[in-house]
Amino acid sequence: MSRFAGKVAVVTGAGSGIGAASAMRLASEGASVVLADINEDAAQSVAAKITAAGGTACAVRCDVGSSADWRHLAAAAEHQYGPQVDVVHNNAFTLDRHAAHEMTEESWDHQISIDLSSIYRSVRTFTCRLRRARGAIVNTSSVHALLGFPGHPAYAAAKGGIVALTRQLAVEYGPEIRVNAVLPGPIRTPVWDGVPPADLERLAADVPAARMGAPEEVAAAVAFLASDDASYITGAELLVDGGYTVKKSGR
């Protein structure tokens, strides 16, 4: 497929997991991709894989909690590919597991800044370009927007906020920009590294699909929402969770 031929896409948190898979998927469909990540070496590694496969990509170090870094990202994208930006996938995140009463205020503020306020910074940075391109924004939320899990208060607040913000942005910037969100469930990304296999098996057993998802499966949803195939979809939340949120365990 070449749904993104001649288009420029920016992906944050692109050094691993869902972001890396999305960057590779968009590039495989013809996009010139700017991979943004606080871990520049990781982003460079993914960009190298894309170029080795015949795609077009560059990597930029970006702390999405920093407005200055967003300005640097925009300048780097323009230097590499010109002023055009057609797709922005806001995917960067951080997570600190503590109950609310045990979480420091600094940790709360940091998680909200990275997981939610980064989308505000993204909009401030790229809205004019996206409007000119009649482009698309895809935000990575989570099933944490819909379900409660112990030890995730700031993360859940941010992911729920992303859903609300996605709707607001769709209204604010339509029809020039479409804005949608994906809500991944249990996806086998590096965040699960170190979890005992038995625990992963128990988690998979609670999913109607009977397995954890792959980052590439979320990337496929991201590419769909960013493409013209989703031309009449905006303000939507697409669950990519193998049915996780619709199953009530009998135990």
Active site residues: 155
**The pairing of beta strand 87-90 with beta strand 237-240:** unpaired
Which residues does residue 187 pair with via DSSP β-bridges, in sequence order?
Answer: 213
CA 141, CA 239: separation in Å to the nearest integer?
9
Give dist(CA 6, CA 150) in Å, integer: 44
Helix/strand number for the chain, H first, E second: 8, 7
Q: Quick one: which of 22, 26, 33 has its CA closest to 1?
A: 26
- CB 12 within 8 Å of CB 125: no
**Cis ω for the linkage preceding 175 (within 30 of 0):** yes
Q: Give 25's contacts (C-beta < 8 A, 6+ positions apart).
A: 216, 219, 220, 222, 223
**In sequence order, which ranges of the chain are alpha helices (DSSP H)?**
17-28, 40-52, 67-81, 105-112, 118-133, 153-173, 197-205, 215-226
